Structure 1
Amino acid sequence: MAATRQIQYTIPPREDYNKLSDEQKTRISEAFELFDSNKDGLLSYEEFRFVLRALGFDLPKQQTYDMLVRHGQRPANWPHDQECPPVYRQFNLATAQALAGTLIRQRDPRDELRRAFRLFDVDGKGMITEDDLRKVCQQVGNNIPDADIQAMIEEFDSNGKGGVDEDEFLRLMMSKK
């Protein structure tokens, strides 16, 4: 009888997760809850990929599969004397938090700001105009007077083109950090 090869599951370090802001930690936990479809406190591989996408990560399948192989845990009801193929492994909240925390801490803040810029520049015209800013303010329930919106755009539109381009947006947001 051949011996079964046991894979050692490793728990990812939580140092990066522990350094996140409370808001970032909450976002991870909320994404976990949202995609834990059967509410068992565990994510399948596909559910984990959805969590990462919700957090702004569209990683290649091979990268998330490697996470599954290294950090996925066998289901509690899996026979202990049998190897658990990666496709059946799951992520608990602590593991998902640790992995997402590491990804967030490795993220380039400029990439995050570019993503935020695209949320404002919905038409992809390369700048945030008064209309764009007004729409976003209305969507989030913040009614800023038109005069204030106009003043904001004029203040940060360094070359008078009628809107804030990505470079201006990056300079503005990086100066706030």
Structure 2
Amino acid sequence: MFNPFKKKYSKEELDLIAFLAQTRHFEKLDEDELGLFLPYMYLRDYQQDEVVFFAGDPSHALYLINRGSVSLSIDVNDRFEQLAEAYRGQVFGDNSLIESAKRIYTSAVTSEKAQLYVIPQINLLEILNDHPEVRAKVMTAFAEVYNEYTAQLFKTYKSHFGFFELSKVYLGKV
């Protein structure tokens, strides 16, 4: 049914909504829900080897890769061990969805150049607090991502049994 009061988006806004809809954390949102994030998506350019954030930093923003690639690494005995490489359409720094969280890995640009959309945590949490239905959908996607990560961690642990004490990880006694 035609709604004359429905918000109209520009071509650029529709392109950004389509991009956002392809990301894992936002794929369950409808057009108007995605539109809530548009005013807070800041496009930033990064150069190769530029650090986006370090492990231990406050989680003040969510990042979405528009162009390029970013390495997600942990510091092990004074060297970085890569956890993953993230590419266009992928989200990282998603623990910014949790108030007062600290970064658990370091992220650095691996491509010659990268363009990242940055959504500040303060704006992200404001949207989630003001729109419970959006919060439910985003946090469900967040939980699904972490469930898949945990399942993969357990699968890897089983195939390399004895590498570390899983109970210490699960109970937070590391």
More strand by share: 2
More helix by share: 1
Query: What TM-score comes out, normalization by structure 1 length?
Result: 0.25
Highest RCO, 1 vs 2 (Cα 8 Å, sep ≥ 6): 2
Larger radius of gyration: 1
